[in-house]
Amino acid sequence: MTIRPNALPTQEMTINMGPQHPSTHGVLRVILTTDGEVVTRAVPDIGYLHRGLEKIGERVTYAQFMPFTDRLDYLASMNCNCAWAWAVEKLAKIEVPERAEFLRVIVCELNRISSHLIAFGSYTADMGAFTPFLYGIREREKINDLFEMLCGARLTYNYARVGGVSGDAPPGFLEKTVEFLDYFAPKIEEYNELISYNKIFVHRLANVATVTAAEAVAYGLTGPSLRGSGVPFDLRKDEPYSVYPKFDFKVCVGTGERGTLGDCFDRYMVRINEMRESIRIIRQAVARIPDGPVLAKVPRVFKPPVGEVYFRSECPRGETGIYLVSDGTTNPFRLKIRTGSFVTMNIFEKVTRGLMIADIVAVIGSFDIILPEIDR
Partner 1 sequence: MGLKDYMNNIVEAVVTTAKGMRITARYGVDPKEEVTLQYPEERWEIPERYRGFLHNDIKKCTACTMCVKVCPVDCISLESVRGADKKMVLAFYDINIGRCMYCGLCVEACPVKSLKHTSGYEKASEVRGELILHFIEEDAAEIKARVARQVAEAAAKAAEAAKAAEAAKPAPLPSEAAKAAVVDPKPAKAEAAKGETKE
Partner 2 sequence: MESLAISLVKAVPVLGAAPLWAVTLLLMVASAVVILVFALTFEGVGSLVLRKVAGDIQARIGPNRVGPNGILQFLADGVKLVLKEDIIPANADRFLFKLAPYFVFVGSFAAFVVVPFGVGLTAADLNIGIYYVMAVTSLVVVGILLAGWASNNKWALLGGMRAAAQIVSYEVPVGMALIPAVLIAGSLSLQDIVRSQGGGLGIFGWNLFHNPFTFFSFFLYFTAAQAETNQTPFDLPEAESELVSGYNVEYSGIRFGLFFLAEFGDMFIVAALATACFLGGWQIPFFNAAALPPVWGNLLSLGVFLTKAFLMVLVMMWVRWTLPRLRVDQLMRMAWKYLVPLTFVNLLGVSLWLLVFKGKGIPGMIASLFG
Identity of the residue, 98 or 263, whose beta carbon is nearer to partner 2 in the bound complex: 263
CA distances from 274 to 110, 142, 188, 256, 293 (A): 11, 19, 11, 16, 30
- Report the phi/psi class of residue 176: left, alpha or beta, with left for phi > 0 and alpha for psi in -120 to 50: alpha
CB 302, CB 330: distance < 8 Å? yes
Q: Does 150 bind partner 1 (CB under 8 A)?
A: yes
Q: Does 51 bind partner 1 (CB under 8 A)?
A: no
Cα gap 260→264, rounded to integer Å = 9
Q: Does 257 bind partner 1 (CB under 8 A)?
A: no
Instruction: Select from 55-63, 250-258, 272-280, 355-363 the region that touches partner 2 (CB under 8 A).
Output: 355-363
Q: Does 64 bind partner 1 (CB under 8 A)?
A: yes
CB 196, CB 268: distance < 8 Å? yes
Find the shortest distance in angstroms from Cβ 4 to partner 1. Answer: 25
Cα gap 88→98, rounded to integer Å = 17
Find the shortest distance in angstroms from Cβ 169 to partner 2. Answer: 29
Find the shortest distance in angstroms from Cβ 80 to partner 2. Answer: 27
Cα gap 31→34, rounded to integer Å = 10
Instruction: Select from 54-62, 163-171, 174-182, 195-203 the region that touches partner 2 (CB under 8 A).
Output: 195-203
CB count within 10 Å of CB 95 equals: 10
CB 145, CB 139: distance < 8 Å? no
Identity of the residue, 205 or 294, whose beta carbon is nearer to partner 2 in the bound complex: 205
User: Which does residue 358 touch among partner 2, partner 1, none (CB within 5 to 8 A, set by kind)?
Assistant: partner 2
Find the shortest distance in angstroms from Cβ 218 to partner 1. Answer: 35
Compute the C-alpha angle 129/137/316, nearest 5°.
Answer: 95
User: What are the start-end ranges of the E strands in 82-169?
Assistant: 160-161, 164-165
Residues in 98-127 at the binding interface with partner 2, rule: CB under 8 A: 124-127
Q: Does 185 bind partner 1 (CB under 8 A)?
A: no
Which residue among 12, 19, 21, 206 contacts partner 2 (CB under 8 A)?
A: 21
Which residue among 63, 217, 251, 345 contacts partner 1 (CB under 8 A)?
A: 63
Residues 128-167, one symbol each (x = binds partner 2 by CB under 8 A, - = not), give xxxx--xx--x-----------------------------
Residue type, 11: Q
Cα gap 36→3, rounded to integer Å = 11
Q: Which residues contact 372 (CB under 8 A, 6 or more apart)?
A: 26, 49, 51, 71, 72, 73, 74
Which residue among 32, 44, 62, 68 contacts partner 1 (CB under 8 A)?
A: 68
User: Which does residue 19 touch among partner 1, partner 2, none (CB within 5 to 8 A, set by kind)?
Assistant: none
Find the shortest distance in angstroms from Cβ 301 to partner 1. Answer: 10
In whole angstroms, what separates CA 151 from the centre of its chain? 21
Binding site for partner 2 (CB under 8 A): 13, 15, 21-23, 37, 124-131, 134-135, 138, 194-195, 198, 200-201, 203-204, 356-359, 361
Binding site for partner 1 (CB under 8 A): 60, 63-68, 70, 131, 138, 141, 148-153, 156, 158, 166-167, 170, 190, 193-195, 197-200
